[in-house]
Amino acid sequence: MSQSLLDALLNPASVALIGASDNPARIGGRPLRYLKESGFEGEIFPVNPNRDRVQGMLAYADLASLPKAADVALLAVPASATVQAVRECAQKGIQTAIVFSAGFAEAGEDGHQMQQEMLNAAKESNLRLLGPNCLGVFNAYKKFYGTFSTVLDGDFIEPGAVSIVSQSGAYGSHIAHLCRQRGLGIGYWVTTGNECDIDLSDALNWVVDQPEVKVVLAYAEGIRHRDRFIQALEKAQRNNVAIIFMKVGRSEVGAKAASSHTAALAGSNAVFDAVLRQYGVIRAKTTTEQIDIAYAVTRAGHIEHNRLGVFTFSGGFGIQMADDAEAAGLDVAPMPEAAQDELKQLLPYASPVNPVDATAQALTDLPMMTSFIQTMLKKGDYQFFAGILGSGPTSPTFATALRQTFEEATKDAPSCLKCLTMTAPPEIVRQYEEKGFLVYEDGAALINALGALVKLQQARTATRSSSDFKLPERIEIPQREMNEFAAKQILKQAGIPCLPEILIAPDDDPTLAANELGYPLVMKIASADLPHKTEVGGIRLNLKSAQEVSDAKANMLRHVQQLAPSAQLDGVILTPMLKGGRETIVGVFNDQSFGPVVMFGLGGIFVEVLKDVTFRIAPFGIDQAKAMIAEIKGYALLQGVRGEQPADIDALAKLLSTLSEFAAVHADQFDSIDLNPVLVLDQDQGVIALDALIVPRSAQP
Amino acid sequence: MSQSLLDALLNPASVALIGASDNPARIGGRPLRYLKESGFEGEIFPVNPNRDRVQGMLAYADLASLPKAADVALLAVPASATVQAVRECAQKGIQTAIVFSAGFAEAGEDGHQMQQEMLNAAKESNLRLLGPNCLGVFNAYKKFYGTFSTVLDGDFIEPGAVSIVSQSGAYGSHIAHLCRQRGLGIGYWVTTGNECDIDLSDALNWVVDQPEVKVVLAYAEGIRHRDRFIQALEKAQRNNVAIIFMKVGRSEVGAKAASSHTAALAGSNAVFDAVLRQYGVIRAKTTTEQIDIAYAVTRAGHIEHNRLGVFTFSGGFGIQMADDAEAAGLDVAPMPEAAQDELKQLLPYASPVNPVDATAQALTDLPMMTSFIQTMLKKGDYQFFAGILGSGPTSPTFATALRQTFEEATKDAPSCLKCLTMTAPPEIVRQYEEKGFLVYEDGAALINALGALVKLQQARTATRSSSDFKLPERIEIPQREMNEFAAKQILKQAGIPCLPEILIAPDDDPTLAANELGYPLVMKIASADLPHKTEVGGIRLNLKSAQEVSDAKANMLRHVQQLAPSAQLDGVILTPMLKGGRETIVGVFNDQSFGPVVMFGLGGIFVEVLKDVTFRIAPFGIDQAKAMIAEIKGYALLQGVRGEQPADIDALAKLLSTLSEFAAVHADQFDSIDLNPVLVLDQDQGVIALDALIVPRSAQP
């Protein structure tokens, strides 16, 4: 949707409130109260057929009486009256409307019909709808409050670098409150509810384009429009906007992963996970984590590297933080040897390596501690400084002395992100924050957030925009079941490496072809009806002569015919026998939400028992493919263990990327593609898809 | 140590304070201030050679002048004066002393010597020491504060069901503060510092025996006395005391696990982890988690099962909680069908399954919501009720109405643990807590804590006390390197299943033995000097006749002699060739802290690449062995995948338990035992240790 429409929704010059109430606690009264109290500078048109004034403001009897078409209409009327209200908005020429009422699609079939009716009414005149069943929006910069959320009942929220985009109004309110509690300002807040029209992706697309936004907290149960969603994620990366996502529905995956079929292995949750990873979005496991990371992003500058210096008065706290840091991907790099000596001279009892433990003795001589920390920061080259203060700052006098010491000690290290962990009353925490410190109560939460900063930065440099792809030409895929030979012909054209193969018709003599290919050979049954060849004796290995090939062909055809009398047999396929290499599995399936998804895993038990597979949505480049390969638990097997050669990971990455481009172009023509196994040979020796199955698009219902 | 000594330390009738200071902010002044202000009812003897009165109390010039030997002496003198003070305590006949000063073993060699000197002085007269370099102790029930921790500067801590035992004084203070902030009372608080004498295990042993204690928060960097530690953990289980442990040093394991040798695979961290699991102790990953679980334990009654009912006004919050619940091992069991209909009748828009989503509409009719929740609790048979309130209770008026509603709705379900998630000011949270609700801000934290309650309960029923073991008779293990044949003779005696084997001396004819065993056979070199037989061509498989056996023996001896000319060859071992089964690895090593530890894993890449191994300290029973087997990631392979028979897990568990008993009895005689591979046959077919290596105890330095 065009950006200007969302401008009307989130940055309106005029607002109509349909169902305006004199009672500021009611759904029709609260938005009016907010708009009045906040000091919104646009025009406000309360609509109420029964009153001349509402909350002291001039009210209009109906929409038709408004002096002009407002940029946005807030619909605070019951579900049953909404369709009519939408019609009137449309007639008035209003561009956007926010529908608060519940009782639509979420409430069953009748509600669903009513929602559709409302949407049809809006569409007739290009009126765009947010909701229904949503809590609305706010823009704290312009003091525009198009919401009845009680979260603003006590206090408004200061504008700031965080924005919130949430399908759930309750969740959106909850995290808005948590942000306020943490001292985080919120610029834009959008709840999308039933998403009959404007959805999360639309909102994200607009929000990540606003220059004030550094981080978006998003919440979704599902995604309606893949392309717009991906577009928003890509734009966020270009604009250096971090997205911290809470996507619920993780627990489904357990059940879905039970099947070993490519598509079922995914489960939409695993695909969602992959998409977020692919586009550098952090998926939070808890709401607290979401807030903790957002807090770090709002205060962090450019992240150059992942070196963390830990300063502590207590060895145990230091070790605890080092433990967490390793898990979060931070480098607890030791101080240079010479600098360690300097620290030792200042404080003989100190442990100067990193964590740097100044011991409680440092607290008895704060000027010395100042020099000590200055030396640590000057010589340590740390991106992150984490000072562990424990419950020290609970004492107000001590809190001040300590703050001044850390301020002085860290002032010459502007490129280092200065973090502290402490328990202290909120007002003391604020004092530290005002001096530029990030303050966390829990060390593990701090470290996790710093790890997220590093991941966000890495993702920014790694992701390639989908517009950069030069997608391949389209190949026609037959819209019927194919045998392996036919599937491979298509995949070869697409650039997937396969062995030379010759198809021998049922009545043809195989010996000439066999001699041409050379020995030993593998023979496989060619039949679109038999995707599982081993089950019908449709594979013979290690055929060493023309005679063996002839005998094998006759036996195979006879045997398969007996076991699968109704199968159409196209003959047999001859191909050279290849030894060595590591078996991997590559597949593509069409995900309901995200379209073609490429899966990769090692063969056998790795997939079947350990579910050790990974996903990317198509298309993606070589770098993403390499990241994908490195993600599986068994990656070390490809790097070479027990003195083995490393596998040809470059060629494997090329195959995955090539297949992803093919899948992107032909998504409408197949349900799934399986390359199982793909043999990965030693470094520089390439990869080979040994078997291939393309399941064409099933007929649409 | 005897319990009465710790009574003197933690529940004294009289206290001497050596180095008593008139300045209540100093180390020698703060404990006196605390004792005075708290209303400690015992006798207090300040000792100060320079003043008649200290903080208004009569002071004694020296220890000799005290009217009696105090139960405990607090030593607030510099390190350099401590040895002398300890001598004087000993002379006075004082039983226990707490040494605050740092500058001992933690500060280098000189300090180490001074610490030893102090300990020797104490031992001469049975004076027991806590510290040095510790923050002391408190007993909030008796208002005894033998500490200079600043955490009590502002407020004392109410006594309660939590106790804290921490090596680190800083950590102990930090979590004490967090407990107070969370409204958790603390009964006993012990910091052990350098542990020159009384250590964490001693303190744990005493604390878990106090009837007021329901949960202990423990912190350690390492363990000094295995047996006393295990004794404390066992006692805690018997007394229904939960221990929530923060053990730092996790990140070492990464490096240690790099080697594929049994002992190195463990790393002391993985062993510690296993010990805690084995004895039903929860190992917390973060400090916040430690507090969150303690909070739940203090408020929970007996846990019967793991069924969780989730009540929400917002679908998204409900799904999020269900996601977390699955991961935490809780059962989000659906409401019975009939009860679902009842709920639907009360609220047609509700989702009545579980999570039960009453939608925001329920808030408009609180009496109806009361019936709704009553029905849910009456029919759902839930152990845990989790109501999601979001930021609703931030509004004081709404908070009260909501609280009264939930109170009324849940009052008839006394056996159900009633939990709520909400963000609200502390005073509102307290009001809910006073009505019996557990309140968490974060849903994930609540669910994790409930999962811990279930695990604690399961562990109580599963663990078997080590005193229940009837350990086997001792077998003499030769204290020199052994060949495989000799090792197996010992292990067979111990009850480990092995194949029949015959040792053929270098000059003996193998044919008679071969005919006796039958064909096919395996031949292995017998040499204590060659533990890695394959590397020297010391294994031949599938020998099918007497002739093949004769030839193989001659060839093997010649070949091995060439490759390893200095090895002492004892001949060759003949054994039947076995096919099928799953290869596993079983090992035992002597851990520095915990003595003999049994390791189990699947063979090959599972151990080498995935580090998929698990540990238990010896001895343990069949049930623990089964839990151990089920812990590995590749467990499904033993249960049978792809239509395979399940493996004989009972026999494997028996082998692990038997080996653990053998290891416990013979710990002083070996460094390590490797059974690699142990072949696990199909169900009811048993297990076989195919290879065995015993490395005898290395000479003590």
Name the A residues in 169-198 with CB < 8 Å from any B CB. 169-171, 173-174, 176-178, 181
Contacts of A24 (CB under 8 A, 6+ apart): A30, A32, A33, A55
Centre a 10 Å sphere on the Cβ of residue B69 and count the other Cβ atoms it contains.
Answer: 16
Is a pLDDT exceeding 70 seen at residue B18?
Answer: yes
Does B203 touch chain A if contact means CB atoms closer than 8 Å? no
Cα–Cα distances in Å, from B19 out to B14, B31, B74, B214, B470?
Answer: 16, 11, 9, 36, 53
Does A587 touch chain B if contact means CB atoms closer than 8 Å? no
Is a pLDDT exceeding 70 seen at residue B251?
Answer: no
Centre a 10 Å sphere on the Cβ of residue B559 and count the other Cβ atoms it contains.
Answer: 14
pLDDT at A531: 83
Quick one: pLDDT band at residue A263, thresholds 50, 70, 90?
very low
- Counting residues of chain B whose pLDDT is more than 70, the rounded percentage is 95
A103: nearest CA in chain B? Answer: B349
B127-174 residue pLDDT tens: 999 999 999 999 999 999 999 998 898 789 999 999 999 999 999 999
Does B147 touch chain A if contact means CB atoms closer than 8 Å? no
Q: Mark whether A189 and A330 lie in a shared domain.
A: no
Under 8 Å between Cβ of B345 and B339: no
Distance of residue A636 Cα from the nearest chain B Cα, in angstroms? 6
Under 8 Å between Cβ of A629 and A656: yes
User: CA B13, CA B24: separation in Å to the nearest integer?
Assistant: 22
Under 8 Å between Cβ of B560 and B530: yes
Under 8 Å between Cβ of A516 and A549: no
Residue range B460-484: mean pLDDT, rounded: 78
User: CA A385, CA B148: separation in Å to the nearest integer?
Assistant: 29
Token couple for A516: 């041409």
pLDDT at B256: 31
Distance of residue B474 Cα from the nearest chain A Cα, in angstroms? 39
Distance of residue B143 Cα from the nearest chain A Cα, in angstroms? 22
Averaged confidence pLDDT in chain A: 91
Is a pLDDT exceeding 50 seen at residue A253?
Answer: no
Does a structural domain hold residue B175? yes
Q: Which of A415, A441, A462 is the last residue of a domain?
A: A462
Length of chain B: 701
A250: nearest CA in chain B? Answer: B323
User: CA B46, CA A172: separation in Å to the nearest integer?
Assistant: 59
Quick one: pLDDT band at residue B699, thresholds 50, 70, 90?
low
Distance of residue B212 Cα from the nearest chain A Cα, in angstroms? 26
Q: Mark whether B563 and B532 lie in a shared domain.
A: yes
Length of chain A: 701
User: CA A606, CA A660: separation in Å to the nearest integer?
Assistant: 22
B356-415 residue pLDDT tens: 989 887 888 899 999 999 999 999 999 999 999 988 787 777 889 999 999 999 999 989
Residue range B49-55: mean pLDDT, rounded: 95
Considering only CB atoms, which chain B residues are within 8 Å of A291? none
Contacts of B160 (CB under 8 A, 6+ apart): B140, B184, B185, B186, B187, B298
A166-178 residue pLDDT tens: 999 999 999 999 9
Cβ separation A423–B181 shorter than 8 A: yes
Q: Mark whether A163 and A215 lie in a shared domain.
A: yes
Q: Mark whether A31 and A108 lie in a shared domain.
A: yes
Does a structural domain hold residue A254? yes
Q: Mark whether B288 and B224 lie in a shared domain.
A: yes
Token couple for A22: 């004199």
Averaged confidence pLDDT in chain B: 91
Calculate Rg over the CA atoms of chain B: 32
Quick one: pLDDT band at residue A237, thresholds 50, 70, 90?
very high
CATH number of the domain to which A423 belongs: 3.40.50.261
Considering only CB atoms, which chain B residues are within 8 Å of A390? 170-171, 173-174
Q: Mark whether B568 and B641 lie in a shared domain.
A: no
Cβ separation A609–B391 shorter than 8 A: no
CATH number of the domain to which A600 belongs: 3.30.470.20
A248: nearest CA in chain B? Answer: B320
Strand arrangement, sheet containing A571-576: A502-504, A571-576, A521-526, A539-543
Distance of residue B442 Cα from the nearest chain A Cα, in angstroms? 7
Quick one: pLDDT band at residue A250, thresholds 50, 70, 90?
low
Considering only CB atoms, which chain A residues are within 8 Å of B440? none
Contacts of B227 (CB under 8 A, 6+ apart): none
Name the A residues in 90-109 with CB < 8 Å from any B CB. 102-103, 106-108
Is a pLDDT exceeding 90 seen at residue B641?
Answer: no
A350: nearest CA in chain B? Answer: B107
User: CA A287, CA A217: separation in Å to the nearest integer?
Assistant: 10
Centre a 10 Å sphere on the Cβ of residue A550 and count the other Cβ atoms it contains.
Answer: 15
Q: Mark whether A634 and A665 lie in a shared domain.
A: yes
Strand arrangement, sheet containing B417-422: B356-357, B308-312, B384-390, B417-422, B438-440
Distance of residue B637 Cα from the nearest chain A Cα, in angstroms? 7
Measured torsion, CA atoms of residues B439, B443, B447, B450, in degrees rounded to the nearest 10: 0
Helix boundaries (H) for A544-700: 546-563, 605-608, 622-631, 635-639, 649-665
* Domain boundaries, position B558: 500-576
Considering only CB atoms, which chain B residues are within 8 Å of A423? 174, 177-178, 181
Cβ separation A423–B178 shorter than 8 A: yes
pLDDT at A348: 86
Sign of CA dihedral B120, B122, B126, B129: negative
pLDDT at A699: 53
φ and ψ at A455, to 5 degrees?
-60, -40
B260-281 residue pLDDT tens: 233 333 447 888 899 999 999 9
B399-415 residue pLDDT tens: 899 999 999 999 999 89
Q: Mark whether B428 and B398 lie in a shared domain.
A: yes
Element housing B54 (H / E) = strand B53-54
Residue A255 class from Cβ within 10 Å (0-12 exposed, 13-18 middle, 19+ buried)? exposed
Q: Which of B277, B299, B321 is the last residue of a domain?
A: B299
Does a structural domain hold residue B104? yes
Token couple for B360: 């925001």
Distance of residue A549 Cα from the nearest chain B Cα, in angstroms? 31
Cα–Cα distances in Å, from B587 out to A420, A535, B266, B692?
Answer: 44, 40, 11, 9
Considering only CB atoms, which chain B residues are within 8 Å of A642? 608
CATH number of the domain to which A122 belongs: 3.40.50.720
Quick one: pLDDT band at residue A254, thresholds 50, 70, 90?
very low
Does a structural domain hold residue A203? yes
Cα–Cα distances in Å, from B49 out to A335, A534, B93?
Answer: 46, 94, 20
Residue B104 class from Cβ within 10 Å (0-12 exposed, 13-18 middle, 19+ buried)? buried
Nearest CA to A228 out of A551, A539, A6, A413 is that of A6
Does A257 touch chain B if contact means CB atoms closer than 8 Å? no
Q: Mark whether B397 and B452 lie in a shared domain.
A: yes
Cβ separation A637–B609 shorter than 8 A: yes
Residue range B46-73: mean pLDDT, rounded: 96
Element housing A429 (H / E) = helix A426-434
Q: Which amino acid is at B200?
A: L
Is a pLDDT exceeding 70 seen at residue B567?
Answer: yes
Show the beta-strand stretches assigned E in A384-437. Answer: 384-390, 417-422
Is a pLDDT exceeding 70 seen at residue A584?
Answer: yes
Residue range B546-560: mean pLDDT, rounded: 95
Nearest CA to A83 out of A64, A69, A104, A62 is that of A104
**In this complex, which of A171, A287, A610 lies closest to B633 when CB atoms are compared?**
A610
pLDDT at B465: 59
Higher per-residue confidence, A698 vs A169 = A169
pLDDT at A159: 97
CATH number of the domain to which B534 belongs: 3.30.1490.20
Strand arrangement, sheet containing A215-220: A144-147, A136-139, A186-191, A162-166, A215-220, A242-247, A282-283
Does B576 touch chain A if contact means CB atoms closer than 8 Å? no
User: CA A62, CA B10: separation in Å to the nearest integer?
Assistant: 77
Is a pLDDT exceeding 50 seen at residue B443?
Answer: yes
Q: Mark whether A589 and A551 lie in a shared domain.
A: no
ipTM, 2 decimals? Answer: 0.83
pLDDT at B267: 47
pLDDT at A206: 97
Centre a 10 Å sphere on the Cβ of residue A136 and count the other Cβ atoms it contains.
Answer: 30
Does A167 touch chain B if contact means CB atoms closer than 8 Å? yes
Does a structural domain hold residue B472? no
Q: Mark whether B533 and B544 lie in a shared domain.
A: yes
pLDDT at B462: 64
The total number of structural domains that make up chain B: 5
Considering only CB atoms, which chain B residues are within 8 Å of A273? none
- Count Cβ–Cβ pairs < 8 Å, chain A vs chain B: 191
Does A345 touch chain B if contact means CB atoms closer than 8 Å? no
Distance of residue A346 Cα from the nearest chain B Cα, in angstroms? 14
User: CA A475, CA B460: separation in Å to the nearest integer?
Assistant: 64
pLDDT at B265: 38
Is a pLDDT exceeding 60 seen at residue A259?
Answer: no
Considering only CB atoms, which chain A residues are within 8 Å of B181? 423
Under 8 Å between Cβ of A354 and A334: yes
pLDDT at A468: 67
User: CA A301, CA A58: separation in Å to the nearest integer?
Assistant: 48
Nearest CA to A503 out of A528, A474, A537, A536 is that of A528
pLDDT at A701: 38
pLDDT at B253: 30
DSSP B648: -
Does a structural domain hold residue A446? yes
DSSP A647: B
Token couple for A145: 């409050």
User: CA A461, CA A216: separation in Å to the nearest integer?
Assistant: 19
Query: Which of A152, A219, A397, A423 is the mutation pick for testing B, counting most B CBs within 10 A?
Result: A423
Does a structural domain hold residue A488? no
A177: nearest CA in chain B? Answer: B391
Considering only CB atoms, which chain B residues are within 8 Å of A176? 391
Show the beta-strand stretches assigned E in B303-460. Answer: 308-312, 356-357, 384-390, 417-422, 438-440
Q: Mark whether A314 and A419 lie in a shared domain.
A: yes
Quick one: pLDDT band at residue A605, thresholds 50, 70, 90?
confident
Q: Which amino acid is at B362?
A: A
Tell me, rounded to whole angstroms, the distance of Cα B65 from its chain centroid. Answer: 46
Higher per-residue confidence, A461 vs A442 = A442
Given the structure tokens 């280098």, which residue do they identify?
B108
The answer, yes or no, to whether the previous bond of A355 is cis (omega within 30 of 0) is: yes
Does a structural domain hold residue B137? no
Cβ separation A167–B316 shorter than 8 A: yes
Token couple for B574: 């003949």
Nearest CA to A8 out of A164, A127, A140, A161 is that of A127
User: CA A194, CA A226: separation in Å to the nearest integer?
Assistant: 17
The half-sphere exposure of A642 on its side-chain side, counting CA atoms within 13 A, is 7
A329: nearest CA in chain B? Answer: B251
Quick one: pLDDT band at residue A331, thresholds 50, 70, 90?
very high
User: CA B402, CA B393: separation in Å to the nearest integer?
Assistant: 8
Under 8 Å between Cβ of B388 and B310: yes
For every residue of B573-619, DSSP letters joined together read EEEE----SEEEEEEEEEETTTEEEEEEEESTHHHHTT--EEEEESS
Token couple for B96: 């226990």
pLDDT at B490: 95
Residue range B338-344: mean pLDDT, rounded: 94
Q: Which amino acid is at B651?
A: A
Of the given ranges (A48-57, A594-603, B39-48, B469-478), which has the lowest mean pLDDT? B469-478
Measured torsion, CA atoms of residues A578, A579, A585, A588, in degrees rounded to the nearest 10: -10
Q: Which amino acid is at A458?
A: Q
Q: Which of B100, B130, B160 is the last residue of a domain?
A: B130
